[in-house]
Copies of this chain bind each other. A is one copy, B any other.
Amino acid sequence: MTKTSHPLPVEIGLTAAILAVSGAADDTPEPMVLVARPASATSEAALPSGPFDPVAHRTFEIGLRAWVAEQTGVPLGYVEQLYTFGDRGRHAQAGDRDPHVVSVGYLALTRADTKLTQAPEAAFRPWYSFFPWEDWRTGRPEVLDALLPRLTAWAEQEPGAGGPARLSRRERMRLLFGVEGGRFDEDSVLERYEFLYEAGLVPEARRDGRAAPDGVPALGQPMLNDHRRILATAMGRLRAKMKYRPVIFELMPQTFTLTALQRTAEAISGRHLHKQNFRRLVEASAVVESTGEMSRATGGRPAALFRFRREVLQERPAPGLRVGARV
């Protein structure tokens, strides 16, 4: 063990899901992701990514911040490593001869109001355009009407449903999509995407030779290579993290109303939240404090403005918006 071996010509790519919320100040925020290149007739949308140069940069994160700043001008706040994909099968396009790319996925947060200098192609896109089934803010998303029957069909044709060791497709479907009395757990974004991938219902899955089920409806916009998988990981991680770390304030302006905060939490989690309970939760968690100012830009009664209370970091081990199943 701990053998030495010859260096293999493996290239490290750093791929970032850079997330922001547009209009976090007012009450119709939309969660966005920075795409390096929006989809066109000839190419799919892609996340920004760049090679890691171990000579120039001491760590991955330094390398990532460097090329993101250089190429897009977007200042990154919070940055977190997600997962490293070494999966040849998934990257392979027909005809490839194994480029041996290992890609390290990152989640990064920024504010959406930044100007995209130096990157004429780059743009922020609503992340639910890539994952329409994840947006439950105004109730059950419509894609599910097209999606669930196909998943059910796929679940039912399961070959020899296996022992109790593995969950059956049917059971996974119940747990992931909240059908048959299950609950839709909003944090399981990646698991749902992987499930659709296995079922062959996303275009990405058909690149490595799977047959396309006939007449599959558009299930969100596809992305280059593994990029949609990285975005799914980022969304799931952010949804989960929001509950025990005050990351949401990386996406908010300096001051904001409680309704704006709630709308942003809803935009991220993809769920509708209960107003009174959300406010009580915020108050109890002491993550914000009043600035004393008022905003009269809201349309009705003026709203008090709040700011993030940095001191919570010192006071509590896991400060966040602990929205439960119902809040």
User: Is A7 a contact of B11 with CB atoms below 8 Å?
Assistant: yes
Q: Which residues of B contact A272 (CB under 8 A)?
A: none
User: Is B8 a contact of A58 with CB atoms below 8 Å?
Assistant: no
User: Is A5 a contact of B51 with CB atoms below 8 Å?
Assistant: yes
User: Is A310 a contact of B54 with CB atoms below 8 Å?
Assistant: no
Alpha-carbon separation in the docked complex, A165 to B72 (Å) = 25
User: Is A167 a contact of B313 with CB atoms below 8 Å?
Assistant: yes
Q: Does A285 contact B (CB under 8 A)?
A: no
User: Is B314 a contact of A54 with CB atoms below 8 Å?
Assistant: no
Alpha-carbon separation in the docked complex, A220 to B214 (Å) = 60
User: Is B5 a contact of A11 with CB atoms below 8 Å?
Assistant: yes
Alpha-carbon separation in the docked complex, A71 to B3 (Å) = 10
The quantity of this chain's copies bound in the complex is 2
Q: Does A10 contact B (CB under 8 A)?
A: yes
A245: shortest Cβ distance to chain B, in Å?
Answer: 13
Q: Which residues of B contact A139 (CB under 8 A)?
A: none
- Given A1-B119, A122-B1, are A84 and B104 neighbors across the interface (CB < 8 Å)? yes
Q: Mark A20-39, 1 if CB is under 8 A from B, else 0.
A: 00000000000000001100
Q: Which residues of B contact A224 (CB under 8 A)?
A: 2
Taking each of A46, A63, A175, which has the highest tally of chain B beta carbons within 10 Å of its own beta carbon?
A: A175
User: Is B8 a contact of A167 with CB atoms below 8 Å?
Assistant: no
User: Is B86 a contact of A83 with CB atoms below 8 Å?
Assistant: no
User: Is A37 a contact of B2 with CB atoms below 8 Å?
Assistant: yes
Alpha-carbon separation in the docked complex, A2 to B277 (Å) = 44
Interface residues of chain A, those whose CB is within 8 Å of chain B, are: 1-3, 5-12, 36-37, 46, 48-55, 58-60, 63, 67, 71-72, 81, 83-84, 86-89, 98-100, 102, 104, 119, 121-122, 164-165, 167, 171, 174-175, 182-183, 185, 188, 224, 310-311, 313-314, 317-318
